[in-house]
Amino acid sequence: MAWNAEGAEGGPQSLPLGAYRRVSTDRVDDAAEAIGQIFCPHNLEPIRGTQSRFFARHHCAALDGISVNYVAYGGTVTIDPGCLDRFFLLQVPRTGAARVSTASRLVETLPGNVASLLSPTVPTRMEWHDGCGQMILLIDRDVLEQRAAALAGAPRQIVEFDPALDLRNAAGRMLVAQLTALIDALDRPPAGRGLSRLAVADFREAFLSMLLNGQPHGLTEPIRRFSGQAPTTPAALRRARDHLRAHADEAFDLARLAAVAGTGIRALQLGFKRHFGTTISEMLLDIRLDHLNSALRRAADGASVTDKAYELGFTHLSRMAEAYRCKYGEPPSATLRRARRPSLQSFQA
């Protein structure tokens, strides 16, 4: 497909996120400054012999905890952002190709083949070849690292992904489909109006789950152990974990749990630490928080956080609220407010 002098296949509105146009220029310094303000400061240089074809285009829809972008360059350019620091960056090529160099890997990206996933603590340098356009998902570092810690049942720590993301397998195709669905939803007429907070939260949750469970990173194995996905988990521990999930809203009875598992109490406690990397009470807390999140997102008008929490066995509301914030990055009251908003809008309409 031929690109015109502005890098558009028929003009900006025909490109992804056309109503969210932020940068369109053929000046290198202006492009570096404007795009640097949206992402982070970086060095931008056209490769010798391609300067006359240079342009930069950036469309950006900033959402809660994430942003979705379309970026394209004319000519071949090098981009050196160093460490991103504040965010993770998934770059899915739509046209053209790019080379992404990190401290330990060189990733060659192509549409439908390989995407790149940049981690905030890993220095990166890129070369975008002539006519390269990419759909880019930015995820706030705090949001992703908090979720990774909750999934791993561990304190928050640095997360570094494998920078090469295979678009040919099922996980890669699902991720691209989700990113495309988000862009399509934003482009749907009247384009530029944005999405509801509930819809944004659903997309954000999907991206976090797909990346943390589908793309290798430093906490992959702890997350597998904590969720009970490790294939070596003994049957007794799987029975105990399944019982906790099915009876999370009931009073906890350790002796009954051991009987269901078919093992002694001490063996059960040691088994949870060894195979899941957590205690029984910590896993129960995590399960109850999941149930509370689901209940708040489905709550009808008149529901309260306190009522839902008591139904799930929470008695120390301040501790519950702090644990919920650590897991989901927001207080439970914020989740409940988002659940109520659609019904209020419908009433007002």
Cis amide linkage into residue 190, ω under 30° from 0: yes
User: Which of 120, 115, 112 minimizes the C-alpha distance to 136?
Assistant: 115
Q: Is 140 within the bounds of a domain?
A: yes
Q: Is 103 within the bounds of a domain?
A: yes
Domain-ending residue, one of 187, 203, 219: 219
Q: Say if residue 228 is in the same domain as residue 198.
A: no
Range of the domain at 267: 223-348
Expressed in angstroms, the distance from the first to the final Cα of the chain is 44
Count of domains for the chain = 2
Q: Is 1 within the bounds of a domain?
A: no
Q: What is the pLDDT along the chain (349 residues), one digit of tens a residue?
A: 333 334 444 455 579 999 999 999 999 999 999 999 999 999 999 999 999 999 999 999 999 999 999 999 999 999 999 999 999 999 999 999 999 999 889 999 999 999 999 999 999 999 999 899 999 999 999 999 999 998 888 888 999 999 999 999 999 999 999 999 999 999 998 888 889 988 999 999 999 999 999 999 999 988 887 776 666 678 899 999 999 999 988 889 999 999 999 988 998 999 998 888 889 999 999 999 999 988 888 877 778 899 888 888 888 888 899 888 888 888 999 888 877 665 433 333 3
Q: Say if residue 206 is in the same domain as residue 83.
A: yes
Q: Is 91 within the bounds of a domain?
A: yes
Q: What DSSP letter does each residue of 82-128 carry, written as one string?
A: E---SEEEEEEEEES-EEEEESS-EEEEBTTTEEEEE-TTS-EEEEE
Q: Say if residue 53 is in the same domain as residue 155.
A: yes
Q: Is 5 within the bounds of a domain?
A: no
Q: Say if residue 57 is in the same domain as residue 188.
A: yes
CATH number at residue 67: 2.60.120.10
Q: Is 7 within the bounds of a domain?
A: no
Q: Say if residue 134 is in the same domain as residue 272.
A: no
What pLDDT score was predicted for residue 157? 93
Q: Is 129 within the bounds of a domain?
A: yes
Q: Say if residue 132 is in the same domain as residue 279.
A: no
Q: Say if residue 212 is in the same domain as residue 249.
A: no
Q: Is 307 within the bounds of a domain?
A: yes
77 vs 44: CA distance, rounded Å: 7
Q: Say if residue 272 is in the same domain as residue 308.
A: yes
User: Which of 266, 294, 7 minimizes the C-alpha distance to 133?
Assistant: 7
Q: Say if residue 98 is in the same domain as residue 213.
A: yes
CATH number at residue 306: 1.10.10.60
Domain-ending residue, one of 219, 240, 270: 219
Domain-ending residue, one of 170, 201, 219: 219
Q: Say if residue 253 is in the same domain as residue 130.
A: no
Q: Say if residue 191 is in the same domain as residue 336.
A: no
Q: Say if residue 309 is in the same domain as residue 188.
A: no
Would you state the torsion angle of the CA atoms of residues 41, 214, 228, 318, taken in this order, to the nearest 10 degrees? Answer: 40
Instruction: Give the up-direction half-sphere exposure of residue 308: CA atoms within 13 A in the CB hemisphere.
Output: 24
